[in-house]
Amino acid sequence: MSPILRRSLPWLLATLGLLFAAVLLPGKLSVWVDDQGRPVLTNRDGPVEGGVELRPEDLSLRGGEAAGDESVPRSSSAEEDRFRRELIGARDDIRRGELRRGLRELRRLQREHPSRPEPAWLVARVERRRGRLEPALEALDSALFTAAHMPPGWREAAEALRAEIRLELAHARSAPGEDARVAVEESSHFRISYDHGFAGRSYGESVLEMLERARLRLDGQLGAQLGRILDVRLYTRADYLEQYQHRFGFATVGFYDGSIHVVSARHPRDELYALLLHEYAHALFEDALGGHQPFFLNEGIADSEEERARGRERLPRSDWRRLLDASRDGSWIPLRAIVRGFGGLEGKRALLAYLESRAAVEWIEREQPGAIGRWLTRCKAGERWERALEAETGVDVNGLERALLREVRDRFPPDPLAAAPRQLSGAQ
């Protein structure tokens, strides 16, 4: 989400362009990314999910390949083997960030095999992690009511998950107070709702105007628009925490899960505009690519647009210096390593990942003006993202990294200390 940790954690001394901006106690920081691509900064370890065997206790949508997958025949035409191959293929699409394709396949399998609980179970897990609780509950009900046979442990696990989702729904639907009012206003492109008891019609009109500015700005910058009305939910800080603190376990200021959810002050300000611009960029990215990957470009695009809205058109020299130090001391993070997300990174490493992401987008935009927008257009038309990137920039991810490292080093004079050992060796 918006890079506001510098105000909450002064000891970080830098900006985090996070989807979630968390207020945490000092200590070990790690960043994990959920199945929808929402990064979460926390002082606890992220969720650990197990293997991928077709059982409710370890059917995972994250992690590496499992040995169990190799036991699935890949050329058999038997109905059972075909079902398992297609199920695992849909699950792996979601792992790779191809959420739209994976969910489409899971729902097809659910329709064609209503007696099998596995597709509905996976749909429920994905939808719940996206924050879409009603579709998750519908999928579980389908599994519980139509599955002809459920192996040992399945029904108990499904009932437990169903109970958790029902509690979350009840909590999310509960009114923050007896006098609270939820107002809804709509334009041709956005539907906003807010529960600010102090906010009148002028508040909604101000937010809609900000959203329209964001839409027009990114349409001009990227040549991209959504083909649907985007829901935007605004909260007072207290009401937001009441509804979502239980979900994340720590304080946040907003997230995107198909809709935009953000905290807003009584009087909308430029800070809110920058945050909405960041989230709208994520919406355009997901619309074009069907998921969050490549994550470093997703976050780099959103962060770049937000920073421009704040008047910071380019990375300052101090940030380029940090990138140079990383390239020299061996802490540089390969771009290929942050395609899927920033999972497992600690505080300073997470800062570096976001900084590299923005620098990569800045390099692309300078070398090939308009390439980001054309790349999104290619991806939306169905072209593979890396092939589209190479077509627009002339480089793949590895080539982009090499060019970025050259850019970093060319901005500064050679390191005299790096040459000293060679000089001493020659003198001897």
Cis peptide before 73 (omega within 30 of 0): no
> For the ranges 63-67, 96-100, 404-408, which has the lowest average pLDDT?
63-67
Q: Whole domain around residue 22: which residue ranges?
A: 5-42
**Average pLDDT score over the chain:** 74
Sign of CA dihedral 280, 127, 103, 342: positive
> For the ranges 55-69, 109-123, 182-196, which has the lowest average pLDDT?
55-69
Residue 131 pLDDT: 65
pLDDT band per the 50, 70, 90 thresholds, residue 417: low
> For the ranges 1-5, 282-286, 394-398, 403-407, which has the lowest average pLDDT?
1-5
Q: What is the mean pLDDT of residues 235-264?
A: 70
The two structure tokens encoding residue 102: 């994976």
Identify whether residues 27 and 100 lie together within a single domain: no
pLDDT band per the 50, 70, 90 thresholds, residue 55: very low
CATH number at residue 73: 1.25.40
Q: Does residue 177 surpass a pLDDT of 50?
A: no
235 in a domain, yes or no? no
Domain boundary residue among 152, 180, 202? 152
347 in a domain, yes or no? no
Pairwise CA distance, residues 123 & 131, whole Å: 12
306 in a domain, yes or no? no
Domain boundary residue among 130, 152, 174? 152
Q: Does residue 30 surpass a pLDDT of 50?
A: no
Which H or E run contains 191? strand 190-194
Counting the structural domains of the chain, the total is: 2
Pairwise CA distance, residues 412 & 308, whole Å: 24
73 in a domain, yes or no? yes
Strongest mean pLDDT among 24-38, 106-120, 158-172, 189-203? 106-120
